[in-house]
Chain A
Amino acid sequence: MTAGYNTISLGTGRKEFNPKKPRPGIEHYINEAGKGVLEKIGGADNVDESVIGNFMAARFNKQGHIDGFFPMIDKKLSMKPAVRVEGACASGGLSLVTGIRHVLAETADVVLSLGVEVQNTVKAIYGADILALAGWFQKRKQGHAYFFPGQFSDRAGAYYEKYGYDRSRKGMARWYANAIENARLDPTAQEYQNTNPDPYGTALKMKPNGRAFVDNLTVLDCSKVSDGASGIAICSEEGLKRIGVDKKDAVEVIGFGHAVRDISSDPTDLTELETIKFAAHQAMENAGVTIDQIGTIETHDCFSIAGILAVEALGLAPKGEGADYVAEGKTSRHGEMPMNTTGGLIGWGHPTGGTGVHQAVTIWQQLTGKANDAQIEIQGNRPYGLTINMGGDDVTVVSIVFKRG
């Protein structure tokens, strides 16, 4: 994969964001991300087919049939095959694996893979209804007004009870602080302009308020509501030659995992992300690597608790010690396992359908030395990058292992 591109993740936090003024629509973001990638790969002529991940433009933007927008990006994409894929917040990841499969099947050498979501079209209370579609509708009625925060609030509550409230909150506050620290290094991040001198303190002090929001999480524990798009090119070796990009400037997909859990059944253990565990291990097995060879991870922190549980799912910490692992700074950009180095979902933003692709773009930037101010050091004995993109409550997970080309 190469030629990654991110638009700005627009929403509360960004200075440009004014809820009362009109904002760019979904076409704008598709256009920008698409053109951003095409520029770096010698133009649309080089593209064989396209795929776009998007969760719910039908409700956010009253727009279906998203694959139809590719020829809008560039006339030379006209009459070329394109498809839209959806798996809730894993739509971006599905865009990537769809492209990967088409290349592996040798039906394409260059695939343009995009992910997009424009969510600020509705107030948060109605956005909550739309995001709830990532869960099982039969459960919506009993669910919280803010359905998904409610689901993960329940997970957090179970974790607090099993392992302790204070130590968990410390881990979650540190997760938030890391997200902000990292976002401040990426100009496209939603929290790039955050000037709070003590994000850790703010997060630790804030208490969940069950009357206004959910019982066990604060708004700082939640990912942003974002408008944004990301894109990347997925190529075979021939495809890479065709677009004239050097292997050094690309990342190789060494392995991937893709797993789906039954959406209609509850998680067996609220304190475990079993599908992430399965898919991430599948990816590493497929790639023939172990966790200690991974140099950096982009994980799906839709909520801070999801970040902590992912740490445990990956085996970086035993069950119940994920919060400690994070609290000790081990997942910060200076820590032993830098995670979400451009801010993740809480710091960079979470345009639902775009996130999976954004994760690949960040890994590509880090492994090829193109991360600018957000650059971390990738060591020789840990040259691999790992992405984990989760849809819904641990239902669809796509995980990919990358290495510099």
Chain B
Amino acid sequence: MVTLAEKNTLHQYGNGFNRQLEREKQLNFKYINMTYDERLQNVSVLGAAGKMGSGILLLTAIEMADRSLQPENKDKTFILNAIDVSPQGLSGLNKYLRAQVRKIAEKKTVWLRKMYAERDDLIENYDIIDEYIFTVLNIVRPATVLEAAYQSNLVFEAVIENKDLKVKLLSQINQNGSGDTWFFTNTSSVPINEIETDAGLEGRILGFHFYNPPAIQKLVEMITTGNTKQEVKEFALAYAKNLRKVVVSSNDHAGFIGNGHFMRDALHGLKEAETLAAEKNIPLYQAIYMINKVSQDYLIRPMGIFQLIDYVGIDVVSFILSVMNPYHEDEELQHNLLDKMLEQGVKGGQFSSGAQKDGFLKYKGGRIVAVWDIHKQEYVDLEKFYEDCDSMLGDLPDSHVPWKATLRMKNKDEVFKTFFNDLKALDTLGAKLAVKYGRRSKEIGEQLVNLKVAQNIDDVNTVMLTGFYHAYGPVNNFFD
């Protein structure tokens, strides 16, 4: 296919030039195609004011600013369009950017002094940090209209998880663009090949799934289709490297690796809570408390499964499941408990400050203080029942360690082996639930490889370790 650049050149110089062009094309791959920096000169983020979009915008703005400071880019303009439907959101975005960029600049002042060495007017750290903040913000152009993206070489898509909306937006940009626009979608559930086909993007789209919050989370899942152009892949890897992210490739199946595991793990938790309530004849809210505790303390995770569902948002979890479900005929990827919570208006999620909203659990000062009673439609204080539930679960073995303590441990594997062996030998309710949970978690991990979502179990484990802060990968021998 002849590119626009080639078309113009041919038109200008005629056929004699065509032969030279071909030779140069072979000699220098980048002559026709854009270099990394050139590609980054015009970028757009769709959904820029959202939770994920703002983080992606921040990271991209920083990367573009840092590239713009390289001496060879001195006279080049870099433009990052922050596109969102909400004007208030875009105002908030600017405040967020300024504060975050200052923090980032304060940490890399040594490097910034080198980059601004030629600027005689910038002498103190304060001057340099201040100038960098301006450099970054000056790259960002807020817009509420899609047209702003038409000139972009690269578009990050971070709008809501709605396939039709994504297809509509991307195809409109594609049709009005240069013909060489690349698209990175942050979707966590919609198969990329479907967006590619429906929007007519012919190899110029890949999934680039950040974790929440993008500025801090190291993991990115990259999803290519059978068509994805090599240069798009290479650019994505180079970009991720500059952002210091850990990239795990996932195959193009709804949910990918992270949500592929998390959704099924969450469903296990939900089912176990229902079963536990029925078997022990206790209120559901107590069973929820118990399963949450088992999944946190007994499995040594940073959060229990219900707290994690609250963190991501009950509505988001429900939505992701609904997107994944049609692609998995032999699985039931939904749960009525989630639907009920949403009907009752209990959603979880986060405030814009990052603080946790109440969901299955009620939070005060970062701690769990109550559990939602689905029948009475009110929260029940932990104090009223936690002791009974804890004694039903039974004591943890002495070899237990809290998740936080494992972060700096050097002999983690030994510690886990000992603890989980003790757990397997223990006859308490809590231990039994935990072992069952750990086995199911492993099963899910192996299923992801069998379904060819993940290429191997290392990738599954990397995703859970890096993206979900698990202390150990779900596919292990601890529960065998």
Contact = CB atoms under 8 A, between A and B. Distances in A.
Interface of A: 123, 125-126, 128-129, 132, 137, 140-141, 144-145, 211-213
Q: Is the interface of A mostly helix, strand, loop or mixed?
A: loop
Contacts of A123: 106
Contacts of B124: 129, 132, 140
Interface in B94-127: 106, 109-111, 113, 120, 123-126
23 contacts: A123-B106, A125-B106, A125-B109, A125-B125, A125-B129, A126-B125, A126-B126, A129-B124, A129-B125, A129-B126, A132-B124, A137-B123, A140-B123, A141-B123, A144-B110, A144-B113, A145-B109, A145-B110, A145-B113, A145-B125, A211-B110, A212-B110, A213-B110
Nearest to B111: A211
Contacts of A212: 110
Interface of B is mostly: helix
Given A126-B125, A129-B125, A141-B120, 13 more contacts: A123-B106, A125-B109, A126-B126, A129-B124, A129-B126, A132-B124, A140-B123, A144-B110, A144-B113, A145-B125, A211-B110, A212-B110, A213-B110
A37 to B, nearest CB: 36
Most buried by B among A129, A132, A211: A129
Contacts of A128: 125
Among B106, B120, B125, B129, find the residue whose CB has the most chain A CB atoms closer than 10 A: B125
Contacts of A125: 106, 109, 125, 129
- Pick the most buried of A123, A129, A145: most chain B CB atoms within 10 A of its CB: A145
A212 B111 CA distance: 9
Nearest to B114: A145
Contacts of A132: 124
B110 to A, nearest CB: 5
Interface in B159-199: none
Contacts of A145: 109-110, 113, 125
Nearest to A127: B125
A213 B110 CA distance: 8
Contacts of B126: 126, 129
B100 to A, nearest CB: 15
A141 B106 CA distance: 17
Nearest to B105: A125
Interface in B124-149: 124-126, 129
A239 to B, nearest CB: 44
Contacts of A141: 120, 123
Nearest to A126: B126
Contacts of B111: 211
A212 B107 CA distance: 8
Contacts of A137: 123
A126 B130 CA distance: 11
Contacts of A140: 123-124
Contacts of B125: 125-126, 128-129, 145
A137 B123 CA distance: 9
A339 to B, nearest CB: 32
A61 B126 CA distance: 16
Nearest to B128: A145
Nearest to A212: B110
Nearest to A140: B123
A144 B117 CA distance: 11
A144 to B, nearest CB: 7
Contacts of A129: 124-126
Contacts of B123: 137, 140-141
A148 B110 CA distance: 14
B51 to A, nearest CB: 25
Contacts of B113: 144-145
A129 B106 CA distance: 12
A337 B123 CA distance: 42
